Amino acid sequence: MAWGPISVGGSVSGYTLPTATASVLGGVKTGSNITNSGGTISITKANVTEALGYTPPTTNTTYGAATQSAAGLMSAADKKKLDNVAAGANAYSLPTATASVLGGVKTGSNITNSGGTISITKANVTSALGYTPPTTNTWRGIQDNLTSTATDQSLSANQGKVLKGLVDGKAASSHTHNYAGSGSAGGTANSVNGLTFAAQTTDPGAGSALTTNKVLIVYV
């Protein structure tokens, strides 16, 4: 038997080309933004701009560190600060200020607030008082006696107490007196020192007896 080359025409019967994956060597189809020239695939500049949706800059795009006034890249120092911010720090809630708690307040009436700086003005004071206080000294001297005739002085609290004692010792305005022998306030006095006075308008007659402790007044 002699050996020699064999010519095979057409396709190999029963073979299926697998699809290429990350782990399988196989065939692919060319999709968008890939140039296929006679089975040779490549990526062109046009493919790149089409895929990006814009034309990337051709100049240096290096940025400096960002500042409060200029955009830029975050510096290592700023990144370190950011890493040190506690989790949930942006969830802080300012408490309401009280006598025992340091916190925030809102400005109410009669307080001037200018850009966060609070103050009290003359207008605030007069508005709070409800009147304009005097601008001159209203102090009056004190007299600690009841004999002064001054009209521009004030009486001391001590002398006020003295006056109260005098007033409290007085009889009430409804107080009345019964005259001697009278049975009612303001009645006619008809006795003194145990002797009763009586008016005799008629002649009692000769030898008439007199009542003990009774003074007989005879009208002639």
- Quick check: is 57 in a domain? no
Residues whose CB falls within 8 Å of the CB of residue 180, separated by 6 or more in sequence, listed in order: 189, 190, 191, 192
Per-residue model confidence as pLDDT tens digits over 197-217: 666 666 666 666 666 656 555
In a domain, 210, yes or no: yes
Q: What's the rounded mean pLDDT across residues 129-140?
A: 87
Per the structure, the complete domain to which residue 210 belongs is given by 182-220
Classify residue 201: in a domain, yes or no: yes
pLDDT digits (tens, 9 = 90+) for 152-194: 888 889 988 888 888 887 777 776 665 555 556 555 555 555 5
The predicted model gives 119-137 an average pLDDT of 92
Residue type, 172: A
pTM above 0.75, yes or no: no
Structure confidence by residue, pLDDT tens digits, 100-121: 999 999 999 999 999 999 999 9
Whether residue 214 is contained in a domain is answered as yes
**Is residue 34 very low, low, confident or very high in pLDDT (cuts 50, 70, 90)?**
very high
Domain annotation covers residue 78: no
Instruction: Tell me if 72 is assigned to some domain.
Output: no
User: Which has the higher per-residue pLDDT, 61 or 165?
Assistant: 165
Residue 140: inside a domain, yes or no? no
Domains: count for the chain: 1
In a domain, 117, yes or no: no
Res 1: pLDDT: 47
